[in-house]
Amino acid sequence: MAYESIIYKKEAGVAYITFNNPKQMNSLSDQMLTEISQALDEAGKDPEVKVIVLTGSGRAFCSGANLGHHIFKATSSIEVRAAMALFQKIPLQLRNTLKPIIASVNGAAVGAGANLALSCDIIIASDQARFGQVFVNVGVHPDSGGIHFLPRAVGIPRACELLMTGRIIDAKEAERIGMINRIVPGEKLEAFTKEFAENMANGPPVVLSMIKESIYQAMEMDLPMALEREANCQAILINSEDNQEGIKAFLEKRKPIFKGK
């Protein structure tokens, strides 16, 4: 379908969703949120897509809600909750889409933008990236999943500090505290992300989906339940076509060709 506030493209098994409002640092409007949701649905249902990448155009990844957004003009809690529905939908989609999702953070990721990145499975950041839970600075509560994702990524004490002070941190600090996976020089971010995503897209898609689901489910499980989940998944995957291909390729010292079967 045609998009106006994002760019959607597919290449080598990877769907790229690019926030495309650089003049306003890719701030989130209802239109952009709707189009992100539609693009995630499109990529999630497309059998050719094995991995999804989120990134931003210009110098920002996403600066959060546009300050002109109608949510800031709401006069009742009912209006606020109705406006929040779109902001709440995206983190759920990112976690429930059973394909690996990579945030390629090219610049500022603040407010809801930071939490969109945290909703992804892997975060690769430019050395120019900045992250901030700036909600408190404008007198509002964190949203878009921040209170869920951030403590799980960095621990409760650091999450309290970042959420309660609104302090913006650079990529080096984000990596040090476990918020992101790795830092790449800005001029190499696009090429690095492309290679990383395509390598992952060549992996066994059913296994990748199960791993994603297992990781997030296991965070709410005790050890016996997690072990049972592992056994159930192995029972499905052992002797699958991809398992047989993986073993054969290993013995033949070549790269496997997985088909998702």
With 90 as the cut, is the pLDDT of residue 37 above it? yes
Counting Cβ atoms within 10 Å, is residue 226 exposed (0-12), middle (13-18) or buried (19+)? Answer: middle
Which CATH number covers residue 140? 3.90.226.10
Q: Is residue 95 part of a domain?
A: yes
Contacts of 31 (CB under 8 A, 6+ apart): 4, 5
**127 three-class SS:** coil
Instruction: Name which residue leads in pLDDT, 253 or 54.
Output: 54
HEC string of 50-105 equals CEEEEEECCCEEECCECCCCHHHHCCCHHHHHHHHHHHHHHHHHHHHCCCCEEEEE
Cα–Cα distance for residue pair 248/243, rounded to 1 Å: 9
Q: Is residue 242 part of a domain?
A: yes
Cα–Cα distance for residue pair 245/205, rounded to 1 Å: 13
Q: Which pLDDT score, from 0 to 100, does residue 95 have?
A: 95
Q: What percent of the chain has pLDDT over 90?
A: 80
- Contact (CB, 8 A) for 95 and 44: no
Question: Does residue 213 share a domain with residue 181?
Answer: no
Question: Does residue 197 share a domain with residue 107?
Answer: yes
Q: Which tokens go with 23?
A: 């003049």
Q: Which tokens go with 80?
A: 């606020």
Average pLDDT, the chain: 94
Supply the DSSP symbol for 28.
B
Q: Is residue 68 part of a domain?
A: yes
Q: Which pLDDT score, from 0 to 100, does residue 77 have?
A: 85
- Give the C-alpha distances (Å, rounded to integers) separating 231 from 224, 226, 235: 11, 9, 6
Question: Does residue 182 share a domain with residue 113?
Answer: yes
Question: Does residue 166 share a domain with residue 69?
Answer: yes
Please give the residue range of the domain that contains residue 144.
6-201
Question: Does residue 171 share a domain with residue 56?
Answer: yes
Q: Which pLDDT score, from 0 to 100, does residue 46 have?
A: 96
Amino acid at 150: L
Q: Is residue 74 part of a domain?
A: yes
Q: Is residue 146 part of a domain?
A: yes
With 90 as the cut, is the pLDDT of residue 121 above it? yes
Question: Does residue 219 share a domain with residue 187?
Answer: no
Q: Which pLDDT score, from 0 to 100, does residue 61 have?
A: 97
Q: Which of 114, 104, 116, 120 is nearest to 182 (CA)?
A: 104
Q: Which pLDDT score, from 0 to 100, does residue 191 have?
A: 97
Cα–Cα distance for residue pair 58/205, rounded to 1 Å: 32
Which CATH number covers residue 237? 1.10.12
Question: Does residue 74 share a domain with residue 153?
Answer: yes
Question: Does residue 216 share a domain with residue 188?
Answer: no
Q: Which pLDDT score, from 0 to 100, does residue 167 have?
A: 96
Q: Which pLDDT score, from 0 to 100, does residue 75 have?
A: 78
The number of folded domains in the chain is 2
Q: Domain boundary residue among 166, 182, 201?
A: 201
- Contact (CB, 8 A) for 117 and 105: yes
Q: Which pLDDT score, from 0 to 100, does residue 246 have?
A: 86
Question: Does residue 58 share a domain with residue 101?
Answer: yes
Question: Does residue 246 share a domain with residue 181?
Answer: no
Question: Does residue 132 share a domain with residue 25?
Answer: yes
**The CA-based dihedral angle spanning residues 243, 244, 245, 246, taken in that order and rounded to the nearest 10 degrees:** 50
Cα–Cα distance for residue pair 172/125, rounded to 1 Å: 10
Q: Is residue 176 part of a domain?
A: yes
Tallying the residues shown for the chain, one arrives at 261
Q: Structure pTM?
A: 0.93
Q: Is residue 34 part of a domain?
A: yes
Cα–Cα distance for residue pair 168/108, rounded to 1 Å: 9
Cα–Cα distance for residue pair 182/195, rounded to 1 Å: 14
Q: Domain boundary residue among 182, 201, 220?
A: 201
Q: Is residue 127 part of a domain?
A: yes
Question: Does residue 236 share a domain with residue 158?
Answer: no
pLDDT digits (tens, 9 = 90+) for 83-105: 888 889 999 999 999 999 999 99
